[in-house]
Structure 1
């Protein structure tokens, strides 16, 4: 107790600047939720897709571990179309080693997103068992989920967006859903073992081998706008994936949000979690990249993480790229959930534990106090709720004039002191 108080005393005199609320303005073009069933019905009614689904076929539909907008609804719509054609759909968790690399953990993630058997009207077949289906062009064995491999057809449900650790024509999307998602723990490990330096080569290589050797029918990928809303839904036949995915990735990148100030002394992130990004906080927003093979996001000296999302179930991966966190976060960590993901992707930095402070206030104070060559009496602080929802953010008073002159930002409140309770935690 005395030691903790001593640590608190070291930062207690660090002044925190007043903060104001600002709205960031991005292009807002989204699909109305109630229109999604008709859109998917129309897309899949095209003879190119509908003719592939025959009565009595067992069709696997993939669903991943990301918090994708309307993911339960889009998955249900695909399943409904399959049933309408007289086939038998089932859902396969396609998320590599996520969910603690267990069948139960992966099912739990899907159910947390509303993808349940009751809602979708079809079974969820969750297993870590894989089956060898062929070889890559350079002779490596390719494995995918056993139940998907033995189905009569596979439909890929996924989202397309920039990856958090590498750059290439195929990042997070259809190729990755096959190579790493359907590959389960085994396939993800094989694909990652050469490191992210080679991921831009390995993802399409394994993906193409799966298209050639597994019963992939087509994909129904979505792209989101800057507000975490469904912007586009399309259907891509198996033999078109290699050609069409790079252009869809460009569209996704163009719709990504960003923090509209380029740098800060301290970035405060209220929550991280797997539902926001595979890295807990998307480095395309926060700049907290785990490898040198991707860049972007805001530049900061220190990053402070205050909490984990309930949906991440204790998986605090990404915490290792922060400078300080709270005792609350530490107490919630489920290391058994975090470590398989880090070991599989061969990057351990995300599961390191940063300095732990008792309260939100102390965690922010220690970040400001340990910055170099800044005005600590008027620190430049940016606070975001998470890396997925950044329409409304908080900035310190030092940004006020800059934001006032920015046509893409709107000041929503005047600067005021932080709202800490008696324990030093934010209200």
Structure 2
């Protein structure tokens, strides 16, 4: 027996109870129809002329219905007689390589076949100007040669900084379409200045490039579209400010706090640009964001999604992880993201345990709650999908008293397999069930 197993073998784990959290769930009935209707408004459609070559910027965020949205936009451009193509707009993601960025789009369901147009991926940029502080404003070369540019993005709270504009159309213009070099330039002075940098760079790009309009979505707490808004290019920054407040109001959260041990089954770029959303887990890679959630005493992350392609940004926010996750890390992809964003904390290596059981036991042992009957432990599938969770028995009375929580099963021991790992305990089944609502 290894010394680690010997130290942890007698660490007891509490029984866990499955719960369902309820959030406001305003949802757009027909996103495709709404999008078509808005693009066909004269103030939008008149910007597209026959024969124009139009670049459609699609990012790496796992926004809801992105394959559908991309396809509808392409179809509407063609209907108006223009020639569309897609450019990946994701800064340094995908390992900061052209092929890697195209693979990221494919993992999100956006391919030349699904979208119905070419995807032209390149890391080449052109310089459009220089800010007063000396930072270069860089633009995807392929997009810069188009007759028109359209951007698509989800508007949401950023995981590393707070400001009047965070993740959204402005950020995809400033950073996404800047590719790795442009993203690197924008991050030069750190996240303390990010809110100002993305607006300043976007203003120059909007002035010097043929942006036509932006398509912003706001999602509800169940990762489904609550609103789609098509805005003229000159209104993008103000629309981002307005939609951000709606997005923050819609965010899911952990209804029972504080937590001694938080278990996150998977981190992933489709859940948050930071792998795990700071607004959910209460921890951030910078001091420039102010999450409402209380930080847990110990955080365990068990695995990473396939769609992350080994980009393990966010693992540094955890205290413990598993060898399963560690073996999937693509350090080039991860460190390209860390070095560009300058948030090196995000890429730090937590304690690596051989399996889920040891990782969770390690968290329990080190959280300094010696009475197992009082341990507050919570398990979630990821930092975005919070409708289903498990809580320890010590939290049962509190869960029963919360009007927005339903107890959906009995308390049970955590079920580890022969390798010491957990199954999904119904998380995948629950997601399918929730999608039916």
Check the 8 A contact 1:62/1:156 in 2, yes or no: yes
Alignment of 1:5-404 (within 5 A): 5-32=2-29, 35-136=30-131, 140-296=135-291, 297-373=293-369, 375-404=371-400
SS in 2 for 1:264: coil
| CA deviation string 1:100-138 (max 9, x = no partner) | 000000000001111010111100010000011233365
Indicate the SS of the match to 2:226. Answer: strand
Structure 1 unaligned residues grouped into runs of 5+: none
In 1, Cα distance between the equivalents of 2:55 and 2:401? Answer: 52
* TM norm structure 2: 0.95
SS of match in other structure, 2:129: strand
Q: How far off is 1:139 after superposition? A: 5.5
Q: Cα deviations across residues 223-276 of structure 1 (Å, max 9, x unaligned)?
A: 100000011001111111222221111011111110101211100000001111
The runs of 4+ residues in structure 1 deviating greater than 4 Å are none
Is contact 1:180–1:191 with CA below 8 Å preserved after alignment? Answer: yes
- Answer yes or no: is the 8 Å Cα contact 2:320–2:353 preserved in 1: yes
- Give the RMSD, CA atoms, in angstroms: 1.2
Report SS of the residue matched to 2:327. helix
CA drift at 1:147? 0.6
Is the contact made by 1:134 and 1:213 (CA closer than 8 Å) also made in structure 2?
A: no
**In structure 2, what is the Cα distance between the partners aligned to 1:271 and 1:113?**
17
Question: Retained in 1: the 8 A contact 2:373–2:393?
Answer: no
Give the CA deviation at 1:372: 2.3
2:431 matched residue in structure 1: none
**Are the counterparts in 2 of residues 16 and 379 from structure 1 also a CA contact under 8 Å?**
no
SS of 1:221's partner is: strand
Are the counterparts in 2 of residues 53 and 85 from structure 1 also a CA contact under 8 Å? yes
> Separation in 2 of the partners of 1:407 and 1:243?
36
**Change in 2 beyond 3 A, CA 1:373/1:394:** closer
- Normalised to the residue count of structure 1, the TM-score between the two structures is 0.97
Q: Is the 8 A contact 2:169 2:237 kept in 1?
A: no
Report how far residue 321 of structure 1 moved.
0.9
